[in-house]
Amino acid sequence: MLSVRPPSVDSILRAVGDRAGGRDRAAVVAVARSVVAGERGRISSGSRPRSAAELGEAVLATLSDLDGPQAALAAGHTAAAAKSADAGLTPVINATGVLLHTNLGRAAWPAAAIEAARLAASEPSMLELDPETGRRGRRFSAVEDEVMALTGAEAALVTNNNAAAVALAVALAGRGGVAVSRGEAVEIGGGVRIPEIVRRAGAKLVEVGTTNRTRVADFEAVLADGTARVVLRVHPSNFAQTGFVESPDPAELAAAAHRHGAIVIDDLGSGALLDTARFGLAHEPMPSERLQAGADLVTFSGDKLVGGPQAGIIAGRAGLVDKLRRDPLARAMRPDKVILAALAATLRLYRAGVAQAEVPIWRHVCTPAAALAERANRLAKATGGRSTRLDSTVGGGSLPGQTLPSWGIALDGSGAQRLLARLRTGRTAVVGRIVDDAVVLDLRTVEPADDDRLAEAIRAALAG
Ligand SMILES: *Cc1c(COP(=O)(O)O)cnc(C)c1O
């Protein structure tokens, strides 16, 4: 499916021209931005895309709606809001080639998720109200239904992030033992370590096997005598082992755990909902596969390969999920309605079979290298840089060591660090990296619509 983007804010402002009268420019820009956001939602729900001229009229209509006694006040508010939005998080162009860059906020949301979040934030909704009975119902169960449909799980629960999901799930062990392979007792990043999460949950860490080789028999030994009641598998996420290594087959491990009355929690990290092998990458474990292999619960992030908002997703056996739902900690880990709405909208794109076109992370994964080479050539001409072949990485703790062929711009000359800093601090902030003493800007992670702004930023940094 072709992904249609709405016209840019700039082209809409051009269509408005000088017809906005004496209004504050920041207010006009803010209205144009919100018209574009609304248009994205309309497009992703199947409506006919409108031209810049039509959207210009929509901006003028909104502005004239503001022309009541409230006008000055509203325009002032909008301008102030636009300014304060600008003063907060600095937007950047991610030209690092790292698709899920933790320091840049990981996944950018699909347009449908942004629109769903906007609606959830701006209007009351049946978040916890059952429309049939008028009584309190389950909190936004639609998102859980989406998870169940995509993973085949009996039940699902959403937390603030995957670290919370793991901490909550591991607490099922009570004061008992949690068996973890020595090869998987990893640090996730930011100093967060699996052994510490297990201990903080009040459970006892039972290390099994060795750093490089762990077999089902190693787990059997601690399951048979009841030392461990929970088996925790952890995706090693940000590192890969090669050589003399062995880890248990998921199905065999689950069967062994179940023989001894134990449960298996599989922390997948990213939890791909599309098969990464289809895109020339190694196969990343999918939640449905691991549940089919016998895992009782799987956990994964909402903002890694799922490509939506930050969230933790727990999917698996209904009895266990219900137990977690009743845990008082679940309330402390409860996401906001905006996140739940955005996550549900993201997951719906997978169910509709349009994730590849609509979810930015997958759009970036799928872009053919030839298309990137063409853009690199164009940008090289526009900036005086050199078009260069690069390797992008997935990042976000997914697929360590795996790369996608990419293209970008190399800026040669001395003072690469200084140039990199100038790009970072320019009017349009750009984050790149250094390869062989040259600043390189990888286009796989840059939206094509941002190419012109990128060229302008490069020219400004080179001139500065
Ligand atoms: C990233 C990751 C986590 C933490 O997930 P967040 O959503 O960032 O909290 C936990 N486990 C694994 C294996 C991971 O890769």
Structural domain boundaries in the chain: 1-90, 92-109+359-464, 114-357
Q: Mean pLDDT check: name the lowest of 82-91, 329-338, 365-374, 414-423.
A: 82-91
Pocket of ligand 1 (CB under 6 A): 161-163, 166, 188, 234-235, 237, 267, 269, 301, 312, 397
> Residue 81: which pLDDT band, with cuts at 50, 70 and 90?
low
Rg (alpha carbons) of the chain, rounded to whole number: 25
End-to-end CA distance of the chain: 42
Mean pLDDT throughout 388-411? 91
Pairing of strands 433-435, 429-431: unpaired
Question: 3-class DSSP state for residue 317?
Answer: coil
For residue 402, give both structure tokens: 């795996």
Is the confidence at residue 74, as pLDDT, over 70? no
CA of 188 to the centre of ligand 1 (A): 6
Topology of domain 114-357, per CATH? Aspartate Aminotransferase; domain 2 (3.40.640)
Tell me the best of 186, 193, 267, 343 to mutate to test the pocket of ligand 1, counting ligand atoms within 8 Å of each CB and taking the most.
267
Mean pLDDT throughout 97-124? 94
Query: Could you check whether 92-109+359-464 and 114-357 share the same CATH topology?
Result: no
Pairing of strands 230-234, 263-269: parallel
DSSP 8-state code for residue 211: S
Pairing of strands 192-193, 187-189: antiparallel
Put simply, whether the predicted model's pTM sits higher than 0.85 gets the answer: no
Instruction: Specify the residue with its C-alpha closest to ligand 1, atom 2.
Output: 269
The stretches of 270-425 forming alpha helices (DSSP H) are 287-292, 318-326, 328-332, 337-351, 355-358, 360-366, 369-383, 416-425
Tell me the best of 266, 267, 301 to mutate to test the pocket of ligand 1, counting ligand atoms within 8 Å of each CB and taking the most.
301
The stretches of 175-312 forming alpha helices (DSSP H) are 194-200, 216-224, 250-259, 287-292
Tell me the best of 102, 188, 265 to mutate to test the pocket of ligand 1, counting ligand atoms within 8 Å of each CB and taking the most.
188
Are 364 and 110 contacting, i.e. CB atoms less than 8 angstroms apart?
no
Look over the chain and give the mean of its residue pLDDT values, rounded to a whole number: 91
Q: How many residues does the chain have?
A: 464
Tell me the best of 102, 159, 162 to mutate to test the pocket of ligand 1, counting ligand atoms within 8 Å of each CB and taking the most.
162
DSSP 8-state code for residue 5: P
Of the candidate CATH numbers 3.90.1150.180, 3.40.140.10, 3.40.630.30, 3.40.50.300, the domain formed by 92-109+359-464 belongs to 3.90.1150.180
Are 194 and 232 contacting, i.e. CB atoms less than 8 angstroms apart?
yes
Are 302 and 340 contacting, i.e. CB atoms less than 8 angstroms apart?
no
Q: Which residue, among 239, 291, 230, 283, has the nearest Cα to 257 in the 3D structure? A: 230
Q: With left for phi above 0 and alpha for psi between -120 and 50, is residue 340 left, alpha or beta?
A: alpha
What is the sign of the dihedral through the CA atoms of 433, 435, 440 and 446?
Answer: negative
pLDDT of residue 129: 84
CA of 299 to the centre of ligand 1 (A): 9
What is the sign of the dihedral through the CA atoms of 202, 204, 208 and 211?
Answer: positive
Instruction: Specify the residue with its C-alpha closest to ligand 1, atom 1.
Output: 269
CA of 357 to the centre of ligand 1 (A): 25
What is the sign of the dihedral through the CA atoms of 128, 130, 135 and 141?
Answer: negative
The stretches of 360-450 forming alpha helices (DSSP H) are 360-366, 369-383, 416-425
Instruction: Specify the residue with its C-alpha closest to ligand 1, atom 12.
Output: 269
Mean pLDDT throughout 407-412? 97
pLDDT of residue 2: 47
What is the sign of the dihedral through the CA atoms of 249, 252, 255 and 261?
Answer: negative
Is the confidence at residue 70, as pLDDT, over 70? no
Is the confidence at residue 139, as pLDDT, over 70? yes
